Amino acid sequence: MPSIEAPVSSGIGEGAALSEEHLDRVRRLAAQLRVDSIRCSTQAGSGHPTSSLSAADLMAVLLLRHLRYDWEQPHLAGNDHLIFSKGHASPLLYSMFRAVGVVSEDELIHTYRQLGARLQGHPTPVLPWVDVATGSLGQGLPDAVGVCLAGRYLDKLPYHVWVLCGDSETAEGSIWEALDKASYYKLGNLTAIVDVNRLGQRGPTELEWDLDRYAARVQAFGARPLVIDGHDPVAIDQALAEARDGGEQPTVVLARTIKAKGVPELEDKNGWHGKALPPDMAARAIAALGGPSDLLITTACPPPGAPAITADPTAPITLPTYGPGEKIATRVAFGAALAALAARPEVVVVDGEVGNSTHAEEFQKVCPERYFEVFIAEQQLVATAVGLAVRGYVPFASTFAVFFSRAYDFIRMAGISQVNIRLVGSHAGSEIGEDGPSQMALEDLAALRAVHGSVVLYPADGPSTAQLVAEMADTDGIVYLRTTRGAYPVIYPPDETFPVGGSKVHRAGPHDQVALIGAGVTLHECLTAAEELRSSGVAVRVIDAYSVKPIDRDALVQACRVTDSRLVVAEDHYPQGGIASAVLEALADASVPVLKVAHLAVRGLPTSGTPAQLLDAAGISAAHIVDAARRLLAA
């Protein structure tokens, strides 16, 4: 092993021509990145070395010449951002981390892909130099759009966002959503570097090395294509310098590369995607590349700067108030509460061209500078929120609840990234009425409950919605609020509190015979049913399960002990994964009497109709709740 060299400064003159000395450094660094990518993946017995080798020259030039980053202060406001959208090239990324001195050789070679190690198969923010989890292709570039929006419009800092993309992932529509919105918002601080190595997982990519067609597509979406040889350091350097000086247009560097570059046995050969080199082949390749080395580099420091907007959780907020009996749609109350949150400078809003229905536009009316419209592009909607959260903002992203299903993988990956985003889905359930089943979110509670680190809230009236919107701003994780289309009577006083994980119990007594459990629209049905049951002499309590995840286990256990576990759960959702599932999961290991549960849910495919007709047809109206309670008592 060669001796460790003194740190090589990258301050070698951005924009100046590469000298022979600089070219030598680039070549040595690229060789080290290739060797380390092979070493760590061969040691692990798995990984994607060939996808890493093709991009090594690109990343060597970026590190040495163009990336402005203080590795000891990864959260420094002025740092550039580097996102590996092709997250499977993690051997290359981690080799870069070794080259700048933040990951040791031992950690790289001996812990990559091992249980409990932070160098996972695909990068996650467990590493402080990684902004977002990637590996589900087509996500890194959309996330970068949110980071760039923060830099251009909020932080007003000159940092640049560099994204390494694979050619295969350009088949994902989300890539083009990202370029479209980056062009619309004039994000000249964004550069995508596409590693066009021709080969995908099972064979050639769609366009192979047809760089002209790539360029035409990029240009059609409003970005600037730069076509280069991805193994020519001079061409790479010139392209990255031009990209950094991008003005108001995002840049896409289309780099023609060779998969497995540097390993003649494998160059441009199909069948090696996602396969580590066997030890004998790895030894030959490493020797041909000059053997292991310990080149240590220092990247350029970012210019000084601080975010223009800092969080102020103490900012006074005046939430909307509603009087007893007043009818208000929870989506309307959401919009009013969101507008009140404009007093907090860290709150930003992203909407999917339905702000007049979600009522997110109420925020735009009072704070247009922190409102971003991404139009009908739900993947980019969620990705924008993720990118804004990376920069420390509190983003609320809203659309019709059913449309979040189009962005579910982005929500799932946001859970892996452990970012803090707030999602608000309106027009949920069969209650929406005449629009019919294509517009009815009947799976959303199940989907969002399944996401790692998520919180799921479902208010029933104006005051509870307003309080929960304020609560969302200070709740970590992925927080989802489900709102309804129709207007319903106010139940709670304006100063009632609604902590996450809580519930509200109505008319509870020591002799209750049955508990009715609902949330949102079905809470109103449960309250109506309770009045009819009480009029016939049945003692009944009603539980408002406004916090679906986490659900109030203590209130459920208490209800079971009082009612001999007679529970009626009514929900405007399909039977799988919703409120009843949350209830039964919470009680699975509880010390309560044997459960006697009636579960009322939307079990068929709804049609068009009035809200009242649809609730009754689904069997979740007050009359059906009364019948279910009586059947439990008779049994």
pLDDT of residue 246: 76
What stretches of 289-407 show up as alpha helix (H) in DSSP? Answer: 330-340, 355-358, 361-366, 378-390
- Whether residue 9 is predicted with pLDDT greater than 70 in this model: the reply is no
Pull the structure tokens for residue 559. 């209800």
**pLDDT tens digits for range 535-566:** 999 999 999 999 999 999 999 999 999 999 99
- Decide the pairing of beta strands 540-544 and 514-518: parallel
pLDDT band at 243 (very low <50, low <70, confident <90, very high): very high
Mean pLDDT of 498-525: 98
Cα separation, 155 vs 249, in Å, equals: 19
- Whether residue 307 is predicted with pLDDT greater than 90 in this model: the reply is no
pLDDT of residue 142: 98
Cα separation, 458 vs 460, in Å, equals: 7
Average pLDDT for the chain: 95
Cα separation, 50 vs 269, in Å, equals: 10
Pull the structure tokens for residue 194. 């596409």
The one-letter amino acid code at 285 reads A
Q: What is the dihedral of CA 273, 276, 277, 282, to 10 degrees?
A: 130
Cα separation, 544 vs 527, in Å, equals: 10
What domains, with CATH codes, occur in the chain?
8-298 (3.40.50.970), 327-489 (3.40.50.970), 504-634 (3.40.50.920)
Question: In this prediction, what percent of the chain has a pLDDT beyond 70?
Answer: 97
Please state the separation of Cα 35 from the chain's center in Å: 33
Mean pLDDT of 278-295: 96
pLDDT of residue 14: 54
DSSP assignment string, 386-400:
HHHHHTT-EEEEEEE
DSSP assignment string, 129-165:
T--S---STT-HHHHHHHHHHIIIIII-----EEEEE
The helix (run of H) or strand (run of E) holding residue 29 is: helix 20-44
- Cis status, amide bond into 550, omega within 30 of 0: yes
- Whether residue 1 is predicted with pLDDT greater than 60 in this model: the reply is no
Task: Find the farthest-apart pair of alpha carbons in the chain and give their distance in angstroms, rounded.
Answer: 93
Pull the structure tokens for residue 472. 């969302």
**pLDDT tens digits for range 371-423:** 999 999 999 999 999 999 999 999 999 999 999 999 999 999 999 999 999 99
What count of other Cβ atoms lies within 10 Å of the Cβ of residue 186?
17
pLDDT band at 311 (very low <50, low <70, confident <90, very high): confident
542 HSE (CA, 13 A, CB side): 26
Give the bridge partners for 428, in sequence order: 441
395 HSE (CA, 13 A, CB side): 31
**pLDDT tens digits for range 520-530:** 999 999 999 99
CB 285 within 8 A of CB 292: no
Which of 301-315, 457-471, 544-558 is least confident?
Answer: 301-315
pLDDT of residue 310: 78
Residue with tokens 């304006």: 494
- Whether residue 17 is predicted with pLDDT greater than 80 in this model: the reply is no
Residue with tokens 């979600």: 358
pLDDT of residue 313: 73
- Where in the sequence numbering do the catalytic residues fall? 378
Proportion of the chain in helix, strand, coil states, percent, rounded to 5: 40, 15, 45
pLDDT of residue 543: 98
pLDDT of residue 15: 54
pLDDT of residue 29: 98
Beta strands in 375-489 (DSSP E): 394-400, 421-426, 454-457, 478-482, 487-489
- Whether residue 2 is predicted with pLDDT greater than 50 in this model: the reply is no
